[in-house]
A and B are shown apart, each in its own frame.
Chain A
Amino acid sequence: MQTCVLIIGAGATGTALARDLSLRGIDCILVEKGDVNAGASGANHGLLHSGARYIVSDPAAAAECHAENRILKQIAPQCIEDTGGLFVAVQGDDEKYIADFPTACQKCGIPVQPLSPDQARDMEPALSEHVIAAFWVDDAAIDPFKLSLDNLSCAQAHGARLLCRHQVTSFEIRGGRIVCTHVRDLNTDKQFFIEAQVVVNAAGAWADIIARCAGAQMQMYYSKGSLMVTQNRIAKRVINRLRMPTDGDILVPGGTVSILGTTSERVASPDFIYPEIHEIDTILDQGSAMIPKLAQTHYIRAYCGVRPLPAGSEITNPARDPDDRAVSRGYELIDHQDQPEQMANFVSITGGKLTTCRLMAEKTADLVCEKLGIQAVCRTRTEPVPDAAEAKWTKPGLAPAAWVRENRCKEPLLCECEMVPESVVKQIADTFAANQQRPDLKAISLRSRIGKGPCQGTFCSMRIMAYLYDQGYINDRYGTDDLRAFLKERWRGRQPLAWNNGLARAELMEAMHCGLFCLEL
């Protein structure tokens, strides 16, 4: 295969870059070893930062967040619930931090409004009685899956190609250039190569592995963060703890649920990570100081992701910053031409945040254009991201609303928790079939709400798999293996929350799939 730009990694940055380049008329191929947003892009709060969280630790990143917050609200409103956010302090929190906060925000041009504790509790009744200070900021909730899928869909409409479940295996380097990238199709195990004029490494927490594969040096830290999903939505707005960022201090609404997080733990590898019970306990204990009902509420699942933190941006010494909180959340764009390895057509983009993914894509595309000698202006700053039909089912509450509105009430619901009917599963499965790929349960759940409700796939997994067989998408033993893989993936997020009715639900999942169906044998 040949292309102008090869992008490695289909996370928030890679998909935004594909759109940016496509809109500039530049041909690109996106290679992804898993699926869209498989790494940290799909394992975060879904928080569109106002910037206020980084106002003290990293004012530059804060200002960037603020600017991008405004732009994304303009260009991708379909991905955003413009909730606003609160910063609240409780008794015992650092009073100097509280006092400095509004001035620091104003310095960066971040809008902030002081609230009395009573006003804050009127706005968010779940807040603790012990709130001593509160501010309003323009945080919002953003659906990271929809954003990436919409960016991707727009890019594909302009000619970009996506290869999911394709892994880069090696690079052929001659005369300081990557002349050829070898890729393995993980579906078929076939090897082939892609010739590109520029290669962009947007592999997130795996960026250093890709860089080393190309003979380049890159030092990165992996910082794991775990989060948990409540069964019901706890608050209307984003709620942040007003203190230096630490564990369990953000609650973000996500449609019908709220997401509480996060932790920050240095890990040795971005692979095989699990939300751990001690992290869950920390998040819960910290979060319930701000919102007491978090200690009692039911949780649906936990998940975790790895933040790629470029080592070059470390701003304090590690001994004083054991949890990597002070490492900049800014991004790093590396032109490997300027590095010791002097690779002319290799670029890495790492770090950063979901909120700044568009900006990261813009800066990367600018550098790529410079390398290609193309003068093309970035259009993503103002041009709206189209609301893609195939990405619409990630939205909580949409499937049930459509089901009722379009009078499909007679159509069987395959996922009863989130009310996802057959036609939605079929629509998603067809997009895979159109690319000669087999749909799998994980891929369908990434593009819809299946498996995300209280049953966590206990019932819908079998129903959907039986349906995929009936419709002829699958006709061999692959489906039952996929069922196992999907249940295991759901279990990963369920086992650290196995107390109260979480344990009853875990027991039901095991009783059905091991007790009755013997899937463990």
Chain B
Amino acid sequence: MNNQKADIHCDLMIIGTGMAGMAAALFAAGQDLDIVQAGRTGQLGFASGLIDVLGIYPVARSRIVKNPWPAIADLGRHEPAHPYAKMAISEIQTAVDTVLGFFEQAGYPYMYRKNQNMIMPTAAGTVKPTYAAAHTMAHGQAAMAHQQPCLLVDFKGLKGFGSRMIAANLARTWPGLRPVTIGFPEAGTELHPEPMARALETARMREKLAENIAPYLGDAACVALPAILGISRTQKVTKELSGLLGVPVFEISTMVPGVSGIRIMEIFQQHLPEMGINAFFQHNVRKACRKTGGGWVFEVGDRSHWRLVSARAALVCSGRFLGGGLHADRAGITETIFNLPVARVPERDSWHHRDLLHAGGHPVNRAGLAVDTSFRPVDDNNSPVWPDLFAAGTILAGQDWMREKCGSGLSIATAYAAVRAARRFLEKT
């Protein structure tokens, strides 16, 4: 394969189309580099509409982080193996700001305060610290913090979002939350968020929905809904529905996958090709071959058609076990495309605690690719495995994004650092 003629030549191959891969493509675009990106976009569907940077630290003490930046500095001092410890805080801030700016440009702004996490209600009736919330959800922070009287609406036939469950569990912190179940206009028996969200992009459906909600408004100062306020025209849907009801309307993030994932997936899929990325969404990277003299050849394709992509350098953002970047069998854990060394793998009988909700988190979650400060995967001796191979996102070792509430921030920040290092490498050679 490494001697076959490639169908496509590029400078940088980005493997992965989750948050890290998409952010990497965004950072690499418009920099005079030929970029090819490939991966299955399923992972991004799990995006919740909240951008976490660091919500809990230290994890073992379950402490909610108020201002993420000093907490990241603290984390870097105590956990030098953490990916955040390998970059400056100003770089993390620039990376996150850039992505949030991109979402705003794309018409889907996120709300955040520079030095303060937001505390958001969830569909489980719990609260979650996060850094930025989609504009459709952001009002939930203030409404809960100020205990505003709020009508919480769910829909007959929409599964996994129960207004009574949320209200009962938040009753102590938010006594003014009043649940109601109504019918969705022109609905069948079983409802799904995506068609509901698309339906609300038409004025007629918004008017009908407002008519269904209005009788229950009472003293409510705002109305909470599951995440259904449009797909691509969320600002218009939110503004006009609020106008029809006379009070602000906002979303509470639902079970994933939901529309919050579809929204950013569509934004990336629309804009990245326009920015010059040669993207193969819904494609797999089946095989990587080392070229003599450096660089890589990849087999990229869907099930029927495979092509060869030659790249001077590569950035792997293929995710963990669910995303397919890592694979475990009873003998151990491997990286699936390059067979890179996987660091911090505990003995199999201590991969997980017996308690799912163990305060410290499960040791296997900290296994992954160890990298140097240029985000190149390293071997046991801390030497880069390849000079032209970089890594970013949740595949990296030394972090537990699920417990630290840092998934999106970690993906975005490490993608930024890895792209910058890759660019430096490409400029030199």
Contacts of B403 in A (CB 8 A): 514, 520
- Most B Cβ at <10 Å: residue of A284, A463, A470: A470
Can you list 11 pairs linking A and B with CB atoms under 8 Å apart?
Answer: A411-B189, A462-B123, A466-B123, A466-B161, A466-B164, A495-B351, A503-B328, A507-B321, A514-B356, A518-B127, A520-B62
Which of A276, A479, A480, A504 interacts with B349 by CB under 8 Å? Answer: A276
Choose, from B32-40, B152-160, B283-291, the stretch at the interface: B152-160
Q: Does B401 lie at the interface of the complex (its beta carbon under 8 Å from any beta carbon of A)? A: yes
Q: Mark A33-71, 1 if CB is under 8 A from B, else 0.
A: 000000000000000000000000000000000000000
Closest CB in chain B relative to A419 CB, distance in Å: 13
Whole-angstrom distance from the CB of B245 to the nearest CB of chain A?
Answer: 22
- Residues of B contacting A: mostly: loop
Report how far A477 CA is from B126 CA in the complex, Å. Answer: 10
Q: Check B322–A508 contact: CB distance below 8 A.
A: yes
**CB-CB contacts below 8 Å: B306-329 with A:** 320-322, 327-329
Interface residues of A in 474-510 (CB under 8 A from B): 474-477, 479-480, 483-484, 487-488, 491-492, 495, 498-500, 503-510
Q: Are A480 and B348 in contact (CB under 8 A)?
A: no
Q: What would 9 more interface pairs be, CB under 8 Å, given A459-B160, A463-B160?
A: A463-B159, A466-B160, A469-B164, A476-B168, A498-B328, A498-B351, A506-B352, A519-B126, A519-B357
Chain A, interface SS category? helix
* B interface, CB within 8 angstroms of A: 46, 48, 56, 62, 64, 122-128, 154, 157, 159-165, 168-169, 171, 181, 188-190, 253, 255-256, 320-322, 327-330, 348-349, 351-359, 362, 364-365, 401-403, 405, 407
B423 → chain A closest CB, angstroms = 31
Tell me the complex Cα distance, A477–B181, Å. Answer: 19
A130 within 8 A of B: no
- Which residues in B have their C-beta under 8 angstroms from that of A466? 123, 154, 159-162, 164-165
- The docked-state distance in angstroms from the alpha carbon of A425 to that of B330 is 37
Known: A483-B124, A521-B62. A509 touches B356 (CB 8 A): yes
* Complex interface: chain A residues within 8 A of B190 (CB): 410-413
CA separation between A276 and B350, bound complex, in Å?
Answer: 11
Which of A410, A503, A516 is in CB contact (< 8 Å) with B321? A503
Are A487 and B356 in contact, CB atoms less than 8 angstroms apart?
yes
Contact with B along A273-306 (1 / 0, CB 8 A): 0101110010010000000000000000000000
Shortest A434–chain B CB gap in Å is: 21
Nearest neighbor of A409 in chain B, beta-carbon distance: B189
In the complex, A465→B168 CA distance in Å? 12
Q: Which of A250-283 contact B (CB under 8 A)?
A: 274, 276-278, 281
Q: List residues of chain A with CB within 8 A of the CB of B157.
A: 412
* Nearest A residue to B357, CB-CB: A520
CB contact under 8 A between A521 and B56, given known A466-B159, A512-B255, A516-B122: yes
A504 and B328 alpha carbons, distance in the complex (Å): 9
A229-B122 Cα distance, complex, nearest whole Å: 33
Known contacts A477-B168, A480-B126, A520-B62: A499-B328 contact under CB 8 Å: yes
Which chain A positions have C-beta within 8 A of B162? 465-467, 469-470
Give bound CA distance, A519 to B160, whole Å: 15
Interface membership of A363, Cβ < 8 A: no
- In angstroms, Cα B46 to Cα A200, docked, is 53
State whether A410 and B189 are in contact (beta carbons under 8 Å apart), knowing that A469-B164, A498-B364, A521-B56 are contacts in the complex. yes
Query: How far is B184's CA from A511's CA once the two chains are assembled, in angstroms?
Result: 29
A516 near B128 with CB under 8 A, answer yes
User: Which chain B positions have C-beta within 8 A of A441?
Assistant: none
A-B contact count (CB 8 A): 160
Instruction: Please provide the 4 A-B residue pairs with the shortest distance between their CB atoms, ordered closest to farther.
Output: A466-B162, A491-B356, A410-B189, A515-B402
Judge whether B168 and A512 touch: CB under 8 Å: no
- From residue A454, how far is it (CB to closest CB) to chain B in Å? 13
What's the Cα separation between A466 and B122 when bound, in Å? 13
Q: Can you name the residue of chain A whose Cβ is closest to the Cβ of B120?
A: A518
Whether A488 and B255, one on each chain, are in contact in the complex, defined by CB atoms closer than 8 angstroms, is no
Flag whether A414 is at the interface (Cβ < 8 A): yes
Complex Cα distance, B401 from A71, in Å, reads 56
Determine which of A274, A277, A465, A507 lies in contact with B348 in the assembled complex, contact meaning CB atoms within 8 Å: A277
Cβ-based interface call for A513 (8 A):
yes
Residue among B128, B164, B190 with max Cβ neighbours from chain A (10 Å): B164
Specify which chain A residues have a CB less than 8 angstroms from the CB of B56 in the assembled complex: 521
A510–B126 contact, CB under 8 A? no
Contact between chains at B169 and A479 (CB < 8 Å): yes
Cβ–Cβ < 8 Å partners of B181 in chain A? 470
* Complex CA–CA separation, A469 to B56 (angstroms): 29
B154 touches A470 (CB 8 A): yes
Q: Are A498 and B352 in contact (CB under 8 A)?
A: yes
CA of A439 to CA of B330 in the docked complex: distance in angstroms?
38
The answer to whether A518 and B255 touch across the interface, beta carbons within 8 angstroms, is no
- Do A520 and B348 have beta carbons less than 8 Å apart? no
Q: Is the CB of A511 within 8 A of B46?
A: yes
A114 to chain B, nearest CB (A): 36
